[in-house]
Structures are given as structure tokens and as C-alpha cells.
Amino acid sequence: MEISVVRGDITTLAVDAIVNAANNAMRGGGGVDGAIHRAAGRSLLAECVRRFPDGLATGAAGWTDAGDLPCRYVIHVVGPNRTIGQTDPDLLASCYREALRVADGIGARTVAFPLVSAGVYGWDVDDAARIAVQTLRGTPTSVHQAQLVAFGERAEAALTGWVRSTAL
């Protein structure tokens, strides 16, 4: 799988699927989750309510159609929230493994990922980038291209560094 880093807005990417860093309730929220819900339109929330009536567990993933987004699918993952004591790195790695499993199930070959849990959920940006890149590199998948989308300069630098160091 080819892994690249792009800086920008994940809601504008024309890939097969984008990954949403959702909360357990699956009803929209702030950060990436809020931006994706706003850009997708009301149909995304309606489908989340229908498909995930009880939400999703931390580390789990599920998919919906993409509504008004330029991609075909949204793969929702629930990252660990360090600010409430969810500090197990395997929960964060699970988000990426499960997203790839879901992507394989829906036939997505190009997938864009945010840096899960590195915003309001309090995960250290460099550690989150390391876990993301190492997990993507180490997980068997049919996905051909993974784009790691950095919202800011710090995330872009961390992701670029880990992509370069693990490509050797």
C-alpha cells in the first residue's frame, strides 16, 4: 500500500472513502467529525442513527454512504480519549486496522485518514502519527493508497517523518 501525507481538508478529497474520527455516540461532534457531518449533509446523521443505534465502541469502525461529500463512503472510527484515561495504544491502532478491514469489505482502494485522537482527545501528535503509520504499514489490506490528512503544520511534520522513516 502506498502511504502519502497531504495537508488540507479531508472533506474535499475525491477518494473511495474518508475516515471519520467519530465519538462513541455516532451523532456528529466537533473537529473532524463535525466537519464531515456538515459537509456531508443531513443524510449522514440519519444513516448513523439508523446503522448505529447504540453507537460504536472505542477502537471499532463502521461505514456509511458519504452524502454530499466527493467520496463514496465514510468509515467511522472511535479513537481513544486520553483526556478521560483511555491510554492504551492498541485502541488507537485498532482504529486504523478496523478502518482497513471495513475498507476491504466495501471495496475501497483509496482511503483518506485523519490523525485519529490527536485533537481534543489529547493524544500526543508524534505518538499518534507513529501508531497510524506503523499500523497502516503492518496491516494486510487490499487498499492501494492511504492518504494521511494533516490539518496543521505540526501533524504534517510528524506524519511525514514517520512515513519517511518506515519506508526504509
Burial of residue 145 (number of CB atoms within 10 Å: 0-12, 13-18, 19+) = middle
**Residue 61 parent element (H or E):** strand 61-65
The residues pairing with 74 across neighbouring beta strands, listed in sequence order, are 18, 64
**Would you state the cell numbers that stand for residue 115, as one nine-digit string?**
490523525
Q: Which of 116, 127, 108, 134 is nearest to 13 (CA)?
A: 108
DSSP 83: G
The residues pairing with 64 across neighbouring beta strands, listed in sequence order, are 74
Residues 143 and 99: their CA atoms lie apart, in Å, by 10
Q: Do β-strands 2-7 and 145-150 pair in parallel, antiparallel, or remain unpaired?
A: parallel
Q: Do β-strands 61-65 and 73-78 pair in parallel, antiparallel, or remain unpaired?
A: antiparallel
The residues carrying an active-site annotation are 33
